[in-house]
Structure 1
């Protein structure tokens, strides 16, 4: 449904007032803030038309209007004015992430804290899942007789390690040969691809495999083929910011939202879906059929990080009346900063 210019101006004014105050907006407020020089009667008529079209609702008969989810969808898609992050702020963000060193968990934890601090909302950062990240190298160390430490390094600085008990004796030289063989054949594959290939190779008749190959694959199978996708780390910061939001002053609603943030399975599903976008996405409750009723009145702003093949996602969850003009650039900047650091440090 196309709106007239007068209607979009009035709607934009109402939304921005509601974002600022969390209060229903009356015609007098709109008349004072809007660029339109309309009479009180004309303003009331325009607001009534927007209500009939589903963009506004009136919580009480004597109250002003508040924007609906449909209004916020239009606002985000067509009316939003961004407040971009300056070059100096971008440099500062990148520097603060760089200070975390090479350990990706610390970097993502810092990124989550920064998103929450800059957006004043609940921030979530989903760490990479091991199965989809490329194999960089594997190393084996002899801990004791027939006791081996296997360490697999994946793109992005992710490390899988496991202690393996063997049935036969091996030497340090054997382990070096095994690692060299595996690194020459599996580097560059995703963890899941490498694991599948190892299992396929072992299903072939061992007579067709060289002894070194068979032993190396057997050790790799023991070390890694039994692993499933690790429980992906999900960093959450800013839960207490909800206490400052008018929408969550109701104790029951606050408990519902806290329970939602504690349900990893549902959050992971939601965030995984947002990784399909190539850029920043804004999901408003009706756009998220998988989110169910507990997401009513909420928006999720997300951006994937990691380059052409996303490794994870940076997100913010907050009320419909989030300050999108501020939050969208924050999420975009930090996701791109993470992509830059991961590419510079860990890509081949």
Structure 2
């Protein structure tokens, strides 16, 4: 293998030949991203390299191929970039992208949003980012305090199991499987939900519950609350929200039998995604993983790329957004969008948590940000903070 002679252009002074070779590589990757077709010397010449002869371009192609940046599927065919080429291209674009007002406007509506439903806002923001980029998106979040349980639903599953669904004021949804000695009908489930509502609000105590059903409702209520409060209080890992994986079907790269499953395995590996986003937050800078870079986070070798950047509350990194797509994605445009997204998201979050006096915690730290604010100010009339629910169990 020929020694790697291309280095990030911002770090070294290049000879004119190296400069031209670099431009050829960047131009080839640009062309391939737009067309998804192997690139020949004549095609590249017509795409803006008319100052170079086809023979010269082919010589550069040969050098780049021997260095591992290009590959050729057929002897008479054009070249396509390797993961190494995409990695070099992405690093170059990350350093040299000029951020635009158009990208800024795309997410400017975040600053019009005033809400204490922080979890819902973050999820909707991730959905917007996925829709805008046409890529899968995953987001890590801190734990926001002063949340309030607003409802608990109960859905019968089979002869002995029910699904308890907790919905909070911040928009979080938490589920628990509950068991009983008998099948619970839909009618009984509705009566138990009325009991939950009474216990949460102190209003409209249900009448006509049998002693057996009331005992079951109380057991379910206590079980749901204990599990939820314990999980809520013991915050060792960042919460992860994921969306948009189906958008990968739009890309021809994911139409092969192996590409989509390996990327899905990575996307569904919550712990791997959590570690990846944790690294971005720790270093407080945008990062890129391409191809075998991702083997640290999954057992397979995904044929995809991930771009990730941190977002902030009051200039403190508190989480990160990740974008998953094929290697052949418009990196420059996506870096532009990601910078605009994290900037607007950070500003909106900072404004809303201070306006509504919401504190937050980071995993494994335990300290509370905004601690000068009094969390009790957020307690709704006739409702209780999650931290105070434990004392209400009977």
Cα RMSD for the two superposed structures = 3.3
Could you give the per-residue CA deviations for residues 277-317 of structure 1, whole angstroms, max 9, x where no partner exists? 32322222343451245343322111111244322111101
1:299 aligns with one of 279, 293, 305:
305
Number of the residue aligned with 1:343:
350
Matched, 1:270 2:276: yes
Note if contact 1:247-1:319 (Cα within 8 Å) is conserved in structure 2.
Answer: yes
| Alpha-carbon distance, 1:247 to partner | 1.1
Could you give the per-residue CA deviations for residues 108-127 of structure 1, whole angstroms, max 9, x where no partner exists? 11211121122121111222
Note if contact 2:266-2:297 (Cα within 8 Å) is conserved in structure 1.
Answer: no
Could you give the per-residue CA deviations for residues 129-157 of structure 1, whole angstroms, max 9, x where no partner exists? x3xx7x7x799xxxxxxxxxxxxx9xxx7
Note if contact 1:314-1:334 (Cα within 8 Å) is conserved in structure 2.
Answer: no
Query: TM-score with structure 2 length normalisation?
Result: 0.60
1:10 aligns with one of 3, 24, 28:
24
Note if contact 2:295-2:301 (Cα within 8 Å) is conserved in structure 1.
Answer: no
Query: Which blocks of at least 5 consecutive residues in structure 1 are unaligned?
Result: 140-152, 162-222
SS of the residue corresponding to residue 321 of structure 2 reads: strand
Query: TM-score with structure 1 length normalisation?
Result: 0.67
Note if contact 1:9-1:34 (Cα within 8 Å) is conserved in structure 2.
Answer: no
1:247 aligns with one of 243, 253, 271:
253
The more displaced of 328-337 and 288-297 is: 288-297
The more displaced of 252-261 and 296-305 is: 252-261
The aligned length equals 268
Note if contact 1:97-1:107 (Cα within 8 Å) is conserved in structure 2.
Answer: no
Matched, 1:77 2:83: no
Aligned equivalents of 1:40, 1:65: Cα separation in 2: 14
Matched, 1:127 2:150: no
Matched, 1:324 2:331: yes
SS of the residue corresponding to residue 283 of structure 2 reads: coil
Query: Which blocks of at least 5 consecutive residues in structure 2 are unaligned?
Result: 7-17, 149-167, 175-228, 355-369, 371-394
What are the within-5 Å matches in structure 2 for residues 211-290 of structure 1? 227-229=233-235, 232-290=238-296
| Alpha-carbon distance, 1:51 to partner | 0.4
